[in-house]
Amino acid sequence: MHRIEDYALIGDEQTAALVGKDGSVDWLCLPRFDSAACFARLLGDEENGHWRIAPEGADTCARRAYRPNTLVLDTEWETDAGAMRVTDLMPQRDRAPDLVRIVEGLRGEVTVRSTLRLRFDYGSIVPWVRRSDGHRVAVAGPDSAWLRSEPEVRTWGEDFGTYSEFTVAEGERVAFVLTWHPSHEPRPPLVDPYKSLHTSVEDWQAWAARCHYDGPHRDAVVRSLITLKALTYAPTGGIVAAPTTSLPEELGGVRNWDYRYCWLRDSTLTLGALLAVGYQEEAEAWRNWLLRAVAGDPADLQIMYGLAGERRLSEFQVPWLPGFAGSTPVRIGNDAVNQLQLDVYGEVMDSLSLARRSGLSAKPQMWAIQAALMEWLRSEWQQPDEGLWEVRGGRRHFVHSKVMVWVAADRAVRALEHDPELQGDLDGWRAMRDEVHREVCDKGFDPERNTFTQSYGSAELDAALLLIPRVGFLPPDDPRVIGTVDAIREELDHGGLLLRYSTDGSVVDGLPGHEGTFLVCSFWLAHALHTTGRKQEARELFERLTGLANDVGLLSEEYDPSSGRHLGNFPQAFSHIGLVNTALALFGPDGAG
């Protein structure tokens, strides 16, 4: 049985594939991150689609690694007869997406087997396969995929799969290219697999070299940034939360969600990370995506959008997939899109404020959008909402949501104070800011325990409260902040890491079962420990968190300290954003150029 951490990521900034230690591509959606998967073994079995290249009879690889500062993956195999390497990549596309797999002999002579099972529409549709000009062509409905090898090797069809078998001796190479295109269009131009490899390595290394960070754990920071870049949908600048759906937060449980969309909650932290380490162009693309996505009636602001800003992300279940480790249901789409989360107004206001302060190019509509958001928020902020974590147990007055309302008002007031030419109700927004602050401190704070709580009148805690000093609501040395950090650290601890909130006997999220520790929350704790003066403890926690990354430096959404397994969708942008921002906080301005 595969573990989530057994996978590595390759991609072309429009979609991504997961490659296992056994040499199998088990997840790939074409042509976009949110398209239907043509390889869905990740959530099922071999009959749901996969493509494995490995030595005949071999189980798992001897070693694997990305080429330094790239998204090009080398997987090496050792057998009694010799050794070989498979290099996997998805070159930056011109028109069509290509998956390139290059087999190279390293020692002796190795017999290699390729097994390709294309299954369109999340593993449900077996295509018709034919030969054409040295290719294998698979077609079903709107989808078409072409497989070729250079040089040609023996290939045959069997059991609704396509098989190849050949030998490689030291120095010999065989390259496979799988190309997708709409079935009604002609085959796109062929790519040169070896030229694509050379260009991909050069391009990724040139991009990574732009990173200004030069402090401790630079390799982990750069790997996180490369992962964020890989999760970017290049045509629009949107960044998906993860390239997967329904990887479970509890093995065998129902907490399985589709994360192949763009969340506003990630916006400020993402923008700050990109700007701090020198990626101005990517930060601007994300800011521009944000402006397009949120344009319109402020009352219709959503918590997430599609890759191009699409609003309809209706959730349905896929009954033919049994789920990862039997975790059902498998969900496509995300009904949380319909939730009210007041915190996103603060995220948007904070992001656009950061963009303005950081010197990103001015957009004439930006302040008009911000002013409209503020006017809506002024009349609606007192209602309960579903909160940052998209709970499905009913609305509450979540403290983090109210804190982010304060952030929205604070950033609006600061903008007007800095630039008197901007139009807005300075006195009214300032009064709103003060009112929100008073209410949160009165209704959201438990003086007996000296901690802020998850919601008004609740005894529960929430790791999102660690962001209170970070957004400027209270200073780090305020006794209420220190008390909150200590309470969260004690009550939400699981194996030295943090749960985002307790699921023991709680009805807050409306779901059965439990979940693992939430990695970004543990990064927030390290950041909070640092800002409250416990720098050594912060660094020790950060060291542990970076050590949880898998063998190629990737982090999932959650981690189970009891079993030592990754949980949740993978790799997770939020976790990698947390790593970058915490490294910058802990190791100071000297680390960032």
Which of 69-73, 235-239, 508-512 bottoms out in mean pLDDT, i.e. has the lowest? Answer: 508-512
The answer to whether 215 touches 583, Cβ cutoff 8 Å, is yes
Cα(557)–Cα(247) distance, integer angstroms: 10
Token representation of residue 134: 């040295």
- Give one DSSP letter per residue of 77-113, joined into a string: EE-SSEEEEEEEE-PPPSSS-EEEEEEEEEEEEEEEE
Give the count of beta carbons closer than 10 Å to the beta carbon of residue 449: 15
Q: What is the arithmetic mean of pLDDT over 92-109?
A: 95
- Predicted local distance difference test score (pLDDT) of residue 463: 97
Name the band, by pLDDT with cuts 50, 70 and 90, for residue 200. very high
The percent of residues in the chain predicted with pLDDT above 70, rounded, is: 98
Could you give phi then psi for residue 102, rounded to 5 degrees?
A: -110, 120
Q: E strands, 14-68, where?
A: 16-19, 24-29, 37-39, 50-55, 63-66
Token representation of residue 221: 């920071």
- Predicted local distance difference test score (pLDDT) of residue 268: 83
Instruction: Give the CA count within 13 Å in the CB-facing half-sphere of 227.
Output: 32
- Predicted local distance difference test score (pLDDT) of residue 593: 41
Cα(468)–Cα(283) distance, integer angstroms: 24
Collapsed DSSP state (helix, strand, coil) of residue 355: helix
Cα(221)–Cα(538) distance, integer angstroms: 17
Residue 72 has pLDDT above 80, yes or no: yes
Residues in contact with 4: Cβ distance below 8 Å, sequence separation at least 6, in sequence order: 247, 324, 556, 565, 566, 567, 568, 570
* Radius of gyration from C-alpha coordinates of the chain: 25
Please name which of 495, 466, 464 lies closest in space to residue 567, comparing C-alpha atoms.
495
- Give one DSSP letter per residue of 322-334, joined into a string: --GGG----EES-
Token representation of residue 533: 């003066």
Residue 435 has pLDDT above 80, yes or no: yes
Token representation of residue 459: 């005894």
Token representation of residue 161: 């799969």
Angle between helix axes 218-230 and 267-276 (nearest 10 degrees) is 120
Which of 41-50, 59-68, 120-129, 263-272 bottoms out in mean pLDDT, i.e. has the lowest? Answer: 263-272
Residues in contact with 27: Cβ distance below 8 Å, sequence separation at least 6, in sequence order: 7, 17, 18, 37, 39, 40, 41, 42, 43, 243, 244
- Predicted local distance difference test score (pLDDT) of residue 94: 82
Residue 590 has pLDDT above 60, yes or no: no
Question: What is the per-residue pLDDT across 473-497, written as a single tens digit (0 to 9) for each?
Answer: 999 999 999 999 999 999 999 999 9
Q: What share of residues in the chain are helix, strand, coil (percent, to 5)?
A: 35, 25, 40
Domains and CATH numbers, the chain: 4-207 (2.70.98.40), 211-587 (1.50.10.10)
Burial of 32 (0-12, 13-18, 19+ CB in 10 A): middle
> What's the whole-model pTM score?
0.96
- Predicted local distance difference test score (pLDDT) of residue 98: 97
Could you give phi then psi for residue 580, rounded to 5 degrees?
A: -65, -50
Cα(18)–Cα(26) distance, integer angstroms: 6
- Predicted local distance difference test score (pLDDT) of residue 592: 47
Question: What is the per-residue pLDDT across 109-154, written as a single tens digit (0 to 9) for each?
Answer: 999 999 999 999 999 999 999 988 878 999 999 999 999 999 999 9
DSSP code, position 570: S
Name the band, by pLDDT with cuts 50, 70 and 90, for residue 512. confident
Q: What is the arithmetic mean of pLDDT over 328-357?
A: 93
- Predicted local distance difference test score (pLDDT) of residue 506: 63
Cα(257)–Cα(479) distance, integer angstroms: 37
Please name which of 379, 404, 551 lies closest in space to residue 470, comparing C-alpha atoms.
404
Q: What is the arithmetic mean of pLDDT over 302-311?
A: 94
Write down the mean pLDDT value for the chain: 94
In the beta sheet, which residues pair with residue 3? none
C-alpha dist (Å) from residue 592 to 114, 210, 278, 279, 588: 44, 11, 9, 12, 7
Name the band, by pLDDT with cuts 50, 70 and 90, for residue 299. confident
Cα(138)–Cα(154) distance, integer angstroms: 18
The percent of residues in the chain predicted with pLDDT above 90, rounded, is: 88
Residue 1 has pLDDT above 80, yes or no: no
Q: What is the arithmetic mean of pLDDT over 159-164?
A: 94
- Predicted local distance difference test score (pLDDT) of residue 509: 74
Q: What is the arithmetic mean of pLDDT over 211-223?
A: 96
Please name which of 256, 228, 226 lies closest in space to residue 244, comparing C-alpha atoms.
256
Name the band, by pLDDT with cuts 50, 70 and 90, for residue 510. confident
